[in-house]
Structure 1
Amino acid sequence: MKNYLLSLAAALTLVLAGCAGETNEANQNTNNSAPVEEQQENNLSTSIKLTKEGEEVISEDTFEFEEGESLMDVMDRNFDLTTGFGGDFIVGIDGIGSEDEADYYWNISVNGESLMVGASDYTLEENDEVHFDYQKVE
């Protein structure tokens, strides 16, 4: 009877060890065959140029942004801004603003067309060419 119990215990041990090995192998094969997906940030870029009266270039650079960001988001992250009209419009950039000279303002154009909304209402698109021109009110 003792030999019978030892044989049964040994058989059960071998069966359990075999099943565990098959399960681990199956898990390893599943893990190895699954494609590794890397999370890529969806960074886009835009160029922003600041000029005074259309001629004097103050700065010009390319900035990265994420899909859905507004022009205000990117400007606020990269420049020292003064805003007006409830924070929707940029009135000063890096210390240059209409508070200094009441008859000047920042005219904004995107891809050669005047922006008809505030910077917070404009959602940037890939490769937008943004131009801020500090100009005199006529």
Structure 2
Amino acid sequence: MKPVAAGEALPSQPKIRWKASGPAMCNRDGMVDMGGTIHVVRQDDGRYTVKYAGKVRATDLDDIETAKQWTRDHVAAWVEEAAAARKAQEESLARKNAEYAAHQERRKKVARELQELGVLARAVPGLIVLDTYVAEDLAERLRDERARREAQ
């Protein structure tokens, strides 16, 4: 195998013939951050392949101009696909945040009720903290209740 000069591709490696990139591409809804690069790659057989976002989007295109035009015709669909995925992700995150807030509000409510009964308790994210003596008393009551149920 002969040495390869700097900047040359090995014969088996595809050669990128056209590259389009940018921080954002526009669709009907406004700017959507794509953050990607479109690669039109010449294969060993002389045909062209279009790659974007880790996926091969088209294969066996005849020439570079056909590949460029195909890319221009389809980029709006990729933007919409990315926007739909981002919207679904944002909705999922909003739903999870709402569920978390509801659970935290429930913990605060229980802690307030315990405080009204004279129990030292406070709500922290994820749990309700009880005074040691209250927790020991609660554990003892639960053990007694379990023993009483098992005896029946």
TM-score when normalising by structure 1: 0.31
Scaled by the length of structure 2, the TM-score of the pair is 0.29
| Structure richer in strand, relative to its length | 1
Greater helix fraction, Structure 1 or Structure 2 = 2
